[in-house]
Amino acid sequence: MLHLLQPIWMSLAAGIAVPVFIHLWHRRPGKVLKISSVQLLSAASVRHARSWRLSDWWLLILRCLLIILMALLLSQPVWRQPLTTRTVKGWVVTEQAAYPAFRHQIDSLLQLGFQLHAADTGFSRLRRPEDLAPDTSTASYWQLLRTLSQRVPADLPVYLFTGNRLARFSGPMPAVALTLHWQTMTPADSVINWNDYTYFLDNDSLRVRQGRSAPSGTVFSFHDTLPGKADTTTLHCTIYTDKYPEDARYLEAALKAVQQYTHRKINLLVVRQTTAIPASQDWLWWLSDSPVPAGMNAGRTIRYATGKPQAVSTTIGNTPIHVFQRLPVKDTIGALWLDSYGEPLLTKDHLYTHIDPAWNELPWSGEFPETLLELMFSATTAKQHDRRSIDIRQLVLPPRAVAVKPAVLPLQETSLEKSIWIILFLLFCGERYLSSKTAVKSE
């Protein structure tokens, strides 16, 4: 079925009125009558002979078709048909970096009639492997599979060639209806060493944390040196609470665990009066329903959100930490912690739950200090340096019987631009030929 991606350009087809008008207004030369003497003719005004009849039908049709095809070409025509094993042999979906490793297999599949598609969210169809663009996406491969399952029928063979970086396999594994043949490769830059961050210890020596990541895993090592130049000194953290002293106690214990793990110089202060808050601090945890006073100087302030608590049953991100109560979301800027439904629990400035056993499992979870470590010292995550690879056994998808098949049969689009360009060229040559032939006749 023909479909136009930009149908508004078809309005240019009204331009066929121009050649029709020209052919209707065509002036025909007068006939020469041979007579014996002009004296027998009375004087008459000179008149030009015109014919309102259509002439040169084939030439008129060609010119109208040229205008219609130009409008059609600008409308970006595609031919849509149901994507089935009868219309397509199968799909080859590959990343540019994976193509050299599987060149022979991919070329063999393309020679058998498989279609080549890029490993992006649009699965754009390509004519040759040289058209593959560098993969700059950081999206999860699991999300790629979910989108792919909505684009192809369950019985269509799909050969997927990607990298095996563990960082690209975030989130739960989907249950999809796909006849999938998935092969992965290890990128060339599979090992990396880097300096994670530098800070002063509580004994005034300097500690450098170095990371090394390889397909087998990521390890960190610490090297202590004599005091020297560094951008970090003592980290000042203040916890303010008025009617939530237990929340402050849980948070203080988690921050002390972070300090014991990193041995970083951290000055931790817990206060219940605003007058006791220092003039400046790096972190201010405002565990209170009251607003933060104006002029409070802190590098980063995280406050309890306000509102009516809502009972929920969710978790914090991909952790097993359950959340039982939360507050209505009013600010989504810089969301850092998300629940399992994708709703923010912690944004740049607001915490939409309390550090309380009645609200969540943070106070009793061993992962609470770890989440604080990632929040306060983001360099420790080092996701851009992660070179770990996934075990090939983890790529075994759940049984297809439990997957939900697409409600609408997927369609495949084939661009008609190349065909229309060829037809335009042939019609233009035909029009020029008939036009020159007509001009010779009229002379």
pLDDT tens digits, 187-206: 887 888 877 777 667 666 77
pLDDT at residue 231, as a whole number: 43
Q: Looking at residue 402, what is its pLDDT?
A: 41
**pLDDT of 319:** 83
pLDDT at 230: 44
What's residue 355's pLDDT? 95
* Distance (Å, whole) CA 147 – CA 85: 19
**Per residue in 15-68, pLDDT tens?**
778 777 777 766 555 555 556 555 555 555 455 555 555 566 777 788 888 888
pLDDT for 318 = 75
pLDDT at 373: 85
CA 83 to chain centroid, in Å, comes to 24
Q: Which two tokens stand for residue 217?
A: 């895993």
Give residue 332's pLDDT. Answer: 75
Smallest CA-to-CA distance from 274 within 254, 260, 288 is with: 288
Specify the pLDDT at position 237: 94
Query: What residues in the chain have per-residue pLDDT under 50?
Result: 45, 228-231, 401-405, 407
Report pLDDT for 309: 93
